[in-house]
Amino acid sequence: MLPGQYQFKTESREFMEIISGKLHLKLKNDDYWKLISDSMGFITPKNSSFKVNVLELVNYTCSDFDN
């Protein structure tokens, strides 16, 4: 993911693992941003949204879960 600001919507629960890079994360109901970097990950609830502010090039994987 290139540096910049993005907003995503989720239909299923997702796990995103950051392989390399650095971003700020704000989940839909959070009041604050969290710093996420190399080898960290986060879970997003289904039917939700989240924002990221990519600080440096991010390589990541994303896994969707039905439950």
CATH number at residue 43: 2.60.120.10
Q: How many Å apart are CA 32 and CA 19, to the nearest integer?
A: 23
Q: In one letter, which amino acid is 6? A: Y
Domain containing 48 equals 4-65
Structural domains counted in the chain: 1
Q: What is the pTM of this model?
A: 0.89
- Asked if pLDDT for residue 33 goes beyond 90, the answer is yes
pLDDT of residue 66: 81
Q: 12-21, pLDDT tens digit by residue? A: 999 999 999 9
